[in-house]
């Protein structure tokens, strides 16, 4: 009896965590899957099982293909560029220089500010009538009249991507910086003795040793950026004509603007599965590379 209790005891401590995960994660996911496979009224009442009918309707619309493309471009551009720039910035902040603490504090500011505020600031900066970007360039004599920086949906989307990169860089920077500070300095000393230059140290010591930090930041960024709502919603609301929508803003419109909650649930499930596949593929590829 005591042996059985001792075997069960370690699992008792994690039971509250399992219950919380079930209540706040697993049950809502199961409910969304159920809605995606059911007919749902505008009031949110489930009226019966319809199989994959909601998925078929979503996938057959041209708007979904455009929104899915926007989502992929948005995720790849923001995650890719923020990872590259954040890694470079982490390398700079890892060096000893006067005012390093102040520089690190400044980098934190975009991350500490809410996305709604960031999106509103960026929208104000690029406004054609009273935006600070036009005002600054006119005072410097670079332009003579205000420039419409958002003349097309593509231009709007590019600015949204720029905002997304700006607010994502701090997370990558400090994740990589924590990995850099854990590297033993004797590795670099030995490499210097062997005659290694900066680039050899970077690719043979630094990058391999911070790869785990890069993996964590990249996987989390894929999830956060893919599901990011405030930036796009506050800057364009996905308009005009869904041309700047991503899956998250698109399903929001389907659910709360059009009352098509079944279709919105189907879009949500598609996004969930895409994220699951991408995250697993990236982690498997990284682990295999690490084993090599």
pLDDT digits (tens, 9 = 90+) for 154-175: 999 999 999 999 999 999 999 9
Please give the residue range of the domain that contains residue 260: 54-291
Q: What is the Cα–Cα distance from 245 to 73, expressed in whole angstroms?
A: 11
Tokens found for residue 255: 């659910």
- pLDDT, tens digit (0-9, with 9 covering 90-100), for 208-238: 889 888 888 888 898 899 999 999 999 999 9
Q: For residue 9, what pLDDT is reported?
A: 58
Q: What is the Cα–Cα distance from 145 to 150, expressed in whole angstroms?
A: 15
Q: For residue 215, what pLDDT is reported?
A: 85
Asked if residues 89 and 263 have their Cβ atoms less than 8 Å apart, the reply is no
User: Does a structural domain hold residue 69?
Assistant: yes
User: Does a structural domain hold residue 23?
Assistant: no
User: Does a structural domain hold residue 6?
Assistant: no
Q: For residue 27, what pLDDT is reported?
A: 85
Residue 148 CA to its chain's centroid (Å): 28
Q: For residue 45, what pLDDT is reported?
A: 81
User: Does a structural domain hold residue 97?
Assistant: yes
User: Can you list the alpha helix ranges (DSSP code H) found in 113-152?
Assistant: 115-125, 132-139
User: Higher model confidence: residue 113 or residue 2?
Assistant: 113
Q: How many CB atoms lie within 10 A of CB 109?
A: 9
Q: What is the Cα–Cα distance from 185 to 175, expressed in whole angstroms?
A: 19
| Alpha-carbon torsion angle 115, 22, 275, 224, nearest 10 | 20
C-alpha distances in angstroms, 140 versus 134, 136, 143, 212?
10, 6, 8, 45
φ, ψ of residue 254 to 5 degrees: the values are -60, -40
CATH number at residue 130: 1.10.3720.10
Model pTM? 0.88
Q: What's the number of domains the chain is made of? A: 1
User: Does a structural domain hold residue 44?
Assistant: no
């Amino acid at each position: 009896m005591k042996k059985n209790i001792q075997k069960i005891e370690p699992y008792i401590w994690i039971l509250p965590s399992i219950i919380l995960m079930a209540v706040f994660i697993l049950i809502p996911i199961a409910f969304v899957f159920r809605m995606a496979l059911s007919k749902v009224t505008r009031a949110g009442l489930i009226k019966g099982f319809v199989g994959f009918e909601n998925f078929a309707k979503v996938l057959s619309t041209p708007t979904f293909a455009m929104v899915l493309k926007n989502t992929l471009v948005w995720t790849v551009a923001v995650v890719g560029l923020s990872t590259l720039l954040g890694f470079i910035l982490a390398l700079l902040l890892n060096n000893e220089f006067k005012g390093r603490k102040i520089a690190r504090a400044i980098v934190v500011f975009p991350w500490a500010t809410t996305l709604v505020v960031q999106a509103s600031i960026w929208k104000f900066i690029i406004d054609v009538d009273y935006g600070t970007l036009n005002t600054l360039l006119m005072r410097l004599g670079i332009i003579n009249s205000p420039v419409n920086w958002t003349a097309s949906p593509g231009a709007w989307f590019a600015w949204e991507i720029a905002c997304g990169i700006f607010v994502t860089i701090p997370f990558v920077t400090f994740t990589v910086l924590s990995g850099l500070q854990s590297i033993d300095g004797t590795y670099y000393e030995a490499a210097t003795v062997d005659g290694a230059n900066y680039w050899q140290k970077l690719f043979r010591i630094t990058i391999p040793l911070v790869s785990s930090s890069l993996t964590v930041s990249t996987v989390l960024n894929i999830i956060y950026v893919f599901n990011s709502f405030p930036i796009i919603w506050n800057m364009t609301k996905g308009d005009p004509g869904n041309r700047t929508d991503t899956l998250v803003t698109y399903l929001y419109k389907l659910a709360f603007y059009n009352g098509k909650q079944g279709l919105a649930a189907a879009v949500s499930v598609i996004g969930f599965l895409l994220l699951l596949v991408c995250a697993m593929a990236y982690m498997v590829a990284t682990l295999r590379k690490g084993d090599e």
